[in-house]
Chain A
Amino acid sequence: MTIIEILSLVLLGTGAFFFLAGSIGLMRMPDRFTRLHALTKADNVGLGLIVLGLMPLAPDVRDALKLGLIWILVAVAGATGAHLIAKRAVRDDGEDSH
């Protein structure tokens, strides 16, 4: 096992830990804002570490760049979505009563 593979395994393990922490937070946190907080950590950091860990294993440079693009997209979409959900919850638009 080369040093690159060990680095990749460590990164993947840390990413999986962040996902696990995010899902535990989603279950245990008391209200929806703290749950949103736990969720965005899992989204951005967890997937970022998993993408970083998979990059050395990619067959060529093109696939590795595509992995990076996926992470950028998820980070942008996650930030925008979290902002939208939080704004909607703060305003209490009347649809949240159900």
Chain B
Amino acid sequence: MTTLLAAFDLLLSLTLLGLAVAALTSAEPRRGVILFIAFGLLLALVWARLRAPDLALAEAAIGAGLSGALMLAAARRARRRRSPETAPRPSEEQP
């Protein structure tokens, strides 16, 4: 039981560290944002494991949910502004 819990903790910590490194070293913004969402999810799992359900709630709602959605929108606009010739023109996207 203790061994299993230690294995779970180790796996959780290593995954969290790997996600942090991957999100920070990502060259493409959208990939970084999705990695950040996954990072927030794992961090909420860590708070749940540490018996802090209030912190896990806040991390899941703010960290993974809302700021993830906002950063996805920001990444899309940043890419459009940087390369206007490859991005689809807004007039063609109107239904």
- Chains A and B directly touch (beta carbon < 8 Å): yes
- List, in ascending order, chain A residues with CB within 8 A of B28's CB: 98
Interface size for chain A: under 10, 10 to 19, 20 to 34, or 35 or more residues? under 10
- Number of B interface residues in the complex (CB < 8 A): 6
Binding site for B on A (CB under 8 A): 93-95, 98
Q: With an 8 A cutoff between CB atoms, is B88 at the interface?
A: yes
Q: Are B88 and A98 touching (Cβ within 8 A)? A: no
How far apart are the CA atoms of A95 and B77 in the complex, in Å? 12
Using a CB–CB distance below 8 Å, which chain B residues touch chain A?
28, 30, 76, 79, 87-88
How far apart are the CA atoms of A4 and B79 in the complex, in Å?
55
A93 touches B30 (CB 8 A): no
Q: Is the CB of B30 within 8 A of A94?
A: no
Question: Residues of B contacting A98 with CB < 8 Å?
Answer: 28, 30, 79
Specify the chain B residue showing the minimal Cβ separation from A97.
B86
A-B complex: 8 closest residue pairs judged by Cβ atoms: A94-B88, A98-B28, A98-B30, A93-B88, A95-B76, A94-B87, A98-B79, A95-B88
How distant is the Cα of A94 from the Cα of B79 in the complex, in angstroms?
12
B41 CB to nearest chain A CB (Å): 14
What are 8 pairs between A and B in contact, CB < 8 Å? A93-B88, A94-B87, A94-B88, A95-B76, A95-B88, A98-B28, A98-B30, A98-B79
